[in-house]
Each structure stands twice: as structure tokens, then as C-alpha cells.
Chains A and B, each alone.
Chain A
């Protein structure tokens, strides 16, 4: 495994298999009375978040704590960057305190890659702009393999704002590596430019018609419609989006009863996903959250537990 986790492309299929196997063992810790493993005792993990986040940040924090690492959160608001300090100075300052890993979320695509050039600590990309969010892709694929077994030849449908979604970018890389057949669905205004060449290169299909795709889905992944995009002219009205691309009650009825429904959260109920779908027995949304902790424990373990380089 590479020293950093910046992109899903840093991982081979073997790496992903190893991470999943370790995550499965880590998952059991959640059910224990004593939720603590000593593997990262004496290691320090800093969560540096320049964007709002509840689940990703707390998930990394819990993961670090359950592995006995000292975990500290720094948010962009209230940090020195809001006083005008450059990103480089901020991370060099933090790195100088003796940090073993930096978990970073930043609004600029490529920020984590840049930071990895500057410091010796392991850098984990927890979301950079509209680029990548590798641990989300890992936890999504892990959740699906727990539900479906091998993803080889399985049809995964990803629906929503593809233009602005880093979750989708990382998921494409992860799912296609694991042999899944992926179809992405979005209104034309939210389909990334140049998607034709990209889908040909990475081997996924695109569609504007959700109803046509859903009946053959083995899993459905709904992406969040980011509120801040609603005024951007990408679609006429929230209601129209829900009718065309939301997982409504009527569409839920066309899905097989065992087809898992995923959503990276936070959900806009009634917009991209109806309450009936979010709360359906086949919904995997809360499993994703619990898988998130296990996957992040696994990532931290494999990046930090071994021999120091």
C-alpha cells in the first residue's frame, strides 16, 4: 500500500481486498463492550477540516480513538487560515508538532495531493473539492459487498449531481476495479463535461433516464443534491428534480426487494430520496455509516501500524 491515501487510484485490487478484510474484523469492535484496540497507541492523527462535516470527521475521530491513536480535530473556521495564514504554513505548523497522519478535507480539488508533497506524515484525503473522497468509495463498496457478496458483474446505478460529486468520482474507480458494471444517471445539466470519453476509458455507462435503468439495478446509490447548487440553474425546481431523478415511492416499487439503497448523506428527504426509500428495509444508509468507522479504522491501521519508513 502507498504511504498516503489521496485517490482511489492509489489502491490496487489486492489493497482494497486487504482493507475490506481488516474492516470486517474492525467492524466487530463496534459490538464490543470495550471498544478499544491498542494497535495505534502513541500515534497522533489530526483531522484538518476546511469544510463542514459531521459524519466523515466524527467517523475518522472514532476510528482513531478506537485504535488508541490520539485524535485531534481542527476545523477551518477558527483556525489560523481564517486569519490569513496560507495552507502550507498551517500544515507545516501542524506537522511540526509530531503528527503521524493528517486527515484532510478541503474545498480545493488537489489540496490533499499538494499537502502530501509538503509533509512527512501520512495524508488521508477526506474529500478535496469536486475531486475525490476515497474512504467514502471504500465504505460504499464494502457495504455493498457485505450485502451482495462479490461485486463482479453486478450492476450499480449512481444517480444525482455528478458534476460536483467527489463521491461519484472515487466510486467509479473503486467499483469498476472490483468488477461492477456501473451506470451513472443525471440530468444533462449535471452530467460532467467530457463524460463520454471518460466513461469509455473507465468502462461505465451513462444515462439521462432513471426509469429505464432502475429495473436492472443490483444496487442504487443516490447522491446528495447540494443545496448551494439549486440556484445555479442546473434544474428548474427541486420538485422537478425529484420527479425526474429522485428515488420516489413509485420508483422504489420498481426495485427488487433485495436491492440495497445507498446514500452518502446528509440526505435531502423528498428531493433526491423519498422518506419511503430512505427508511425502507432494503436501505443500507445506516449500514454505510457503521461501515464508515470500520473502513477508516482499517485505513488508519494499514497506513500507520506498520514499520515506520
Chain B
């Protein structure tokens, strides 16, 4: 688990794909897309997938508040217990799941994550949501879509499409969780 520490963290190796300003612009655009698609902020709930999805969801909510003047509820949805590869690795502790007070029943839920890759995380998130309520609509917003889907899942809002090889690593670092900001590929 990475948390901001005393010394400035070292930059990940590789090429910078998005810097702090690119991320800010992408999130602003995603926020506008969400409003456009939903015709306003009515009934919206943002659910971030821990760890970095939660920070991104909060940033999107801040932008929605700026443009629409509406506080959109934000929650976090952990998928650890719903992973399909639980048995292939040592047991990991779950991260917090917290739903906004109004719940998700009948709402338009926008799932927020940092990277969309195989699609398995999103599948797990849909299963997890199934146990928590029944939204009217579920949409998906991601900062980076790097391709290589293994399931029939696509994102509704994408910060950046990033063609990548399977052997490459995509690293997202956010100020609130990592103490630095950017997306790297190596």
C-alpha cells in the first residue's frame, strides 16, 4: 500500500503519458461528458474503486459541484472479495466499501477507476454492486483505457486511450494516494 511519506517519492521508470495538467483536463472533460450524458447531475452517484478510483471520483465530484452547483454523492466500492483470481494469490485484505447515505437504488451510478485493462475488475465491481442495491443505470469512467479486454466490457468515459503491449506496465500515480501525479508507461 502506498501512502504519501516524508521524502518525495521517486518517479516511476518509463515514458510519461499524462502529466498533472493532462490528468486535470481529462477529468474536466469526463465530468462534462457525465453531465451531458445524464442531462444534469440528477440521480448521479460516483463510486470509486479503491485505491485510486476513489480519489478520481472525488475530483470528478468537485468538478460537478463547480459546473452544476450540485453535490454529487461519492462512495467507494471494494472488489477484493469479488475477484475471480482470489485463489491464485495470497489472501489480500479488503479495502473500505462505503456507500453514500442515499444508497444506490434507482440511481445512475458512475463507476470510476484509474486503468481499464482486462475488464475483470469492472466485472467484479458489477457483482459487488449487485449485493448492495439495484441502480437504474451503471456507467464506467476510467482515466486510462489500455486495451486487452478479456471480457465484453467497455468504458463510457475515457480520459486517454493508450494502446499498449501486454508486456508493458502502465502506472498511475495520484497526489492523494502516492504524493505524485502522472501516468507512466514502461
Binding site for B on A (CB under 8 A): 18, 21-22, 25-26, 28, 32-34, 36-39, 301-308
CB distance from B75 to the nearest CB of A (A): 12
> Please, how many angstroms separate the alpha-carbon atoms of A71 and B65 in the complex?
48
> Please, how many angstroms separate the alpha-carbon atoms of A306 and B87 in the complex?
5
Contact flag A28-B90 (CB < 8 Å), given A37-B81, A38-B81, A38-B82: no
CB-CB under 8 A from B82, the residues of chain A are: 37-39
> Please, how many angstroms separate the alpha-carbon atoms of A37 and B78 in the complex?
12
CB distance from B50 to the nearest CB of A (A): 11
> Please, how many angstroms separate the alpha-carbon atoms of A25 and B92 in the complex?
12
CB-CB under 8 A from B91, the residues of chain A are: 301-306
> Please, how many angstroms separate the alpha-carbon atoms of A22 and B97 in the complex?
11
Among candidates B94, B127, B133, residue contacting A25 with C-beta atoms closer than 8 Å: B94
Among candidates A28, A36, A302, A307, residue contacting B87 with C-beta atoms closer than 8 Å: A307
User: Would A25 and B97 count as touching, CB distance under 8 A?
Assistant: yes
CB distance from B126 to the nearest CB of A (A): 13
- Which of B88, B90, B91 has the most A CB atoms < 10 Å from its CB? B91
Q: Is B95's beta carbon under 8 Å from chain A?
A: yes
User: Would A308 and B87 count as touching, CB distance under 8 A?
Assistant: yes
Q: Is B10's beta carbon under 8 Å from chain A?
A: no
Chain B residue nearest to A34 in the complex (CB): B131
Q: Is B93's beta carbon under 8 Å from chain A?
A: yes
User: Would B93 and A307 count as touching, CB distance under 8 A?
Assistant: no
> Please, how many angstroms separate the alpha-carbon atoms of A117 and B87 in the complex?
24
> Please, how many angstroms separate the alpha-carbon atoms of A38 and B79 in the complex?
11
> Please, how many angstroms separate the alpha-carbon atoms of A306 and B81 in the complex?
11
User: Would B95 and A25 count as touching, CB distance under 8 A?
Assistant: yes
CB-CB under 8 A from B133, the residues of chain A are: 33
CB distance from B99 to the nearest CB of A (A): 10
Chain B residue nearest to A37 in the complex (CB): B81
Among candidates A22, A26, A37, residue contacting B131 with C-beta atoms closer than 8 Å: A37
User: Would B93 and A21 count as touching, CB distance under 8 A?
Assistant: yes
Contact string, B131-160, partner A, CB cutoff 8 A, digits 1/0? 111000000000000000000000000000
Q: A305-B86, A306-B87 are in contact. List 14 more A-B contacts (CB 8 A).
A: A25-B78, A25-B94, A25-B97, A32-B132, A33-B133, A37-B82, A38-B82, A39-B86, A301-B81, A306-B86, A306-B90, A307-B87, A307-B89, A308-B87
CB-CB under 8 A from A37, the residues of chain B are: 81-82, 131
> Please, how many angstroms separate the alpha-carbon atoms of A307 and B34 in the complex?
39
User: Would A36 and B78 count as touching, CB distance under 8 A?
Assistant: no
Contact flag A28-B97 (CB < 8 Å), given A305-B87, A307-B87, A308-B87: yes
30 CB-based A-B contacts, threshold 8 Å: A22-B93, A22-B94, A25-B78, A25-B94, A25-B96, A25-B97, A26-B94, A32-B131, A32-B132, A36-B131, A37-B131, A38-B81, A38-B82, A38-B127, A39-B81, A39-B82, A39-B86, A302-B93, A303-B91, A304-B91, A305-B81, A305-B87, A305-B91, A306-B89, A306-B90, A306-B91, A306-B92, A307-B88, A307-B89, A307-B90
Chain A residue nearest to B133 in the complex (CB): A33
User: Would A34 and B81 count as touching, CB distance under 8 A?
Assistant: no
Chain B residue nearest to A22 in the complex (CB): B93
> Please, how many angstroms separate the alpha-carbon atoms of A37 and B86 in the complex?
13
> Please, how many angstroms separate the alpha-carbon atoms of A38 and B92 in the complex?
14
Among candidates B78, B88, B97, B132, residue contacting A34 with C-beta atoms closer than 8 Å: B132
CB distance from B155 to the nearest CB of A (A): 24
> Please, how many angstroms separate the alpha-carbon atoms of A305 and B85 in the complex?
10
> Please, how many angstroms separate the alpha-carbon atoms of A97 and B116 in the complex?
41
Chain B residue nearest to A303 in the complex (CB): B91
CB distance from B134 to the nearest CB of A (A): 10
> Please, how many angstroms separate the alpha-carbon atoms of A34 and B127 in the complex?
12
> Please, how many angstroms separate the alpha-carbon atoms of A38 and B131 in the complex?
10
Contact string, B119-134, partner A, CB cutoff 8 A, digits 1/0? 0000000010001110
Chain B residue nearest to A18 in the complex (CB): B93
Chain B residue nearest to A305 in the complex (CB): B91
> Please, how many angstroms separate the alpha-carbon atoms of A37 and B87 in the complex?
15
CB-CB under 8 A from B90, the residues of chain A are: 306-307
CB-CB under 8 A from A34, the residues of chain B are: 131-132
CB-CB under 8 A from B95, the residues of chain A are: 25
CB-CB under 8 A from B87, the residues of chain A are: 305-308
Chain B residue nearest to A17 in the complex (CB): B93
> Please, how many angstroms separate the alpha-carbon atoms of A308 and B95 in the complex?
22
> Please, how many angstroms separate the alpha-carbon atoms of A141 and B91 in the complex?
22
> Please, how many angstroms separate the alpha-carbon atoms of A21 and B133 in the complex?
24
- Which of B87, B97, B132 has the most A CB atoms < 10 Å from its CB? B87
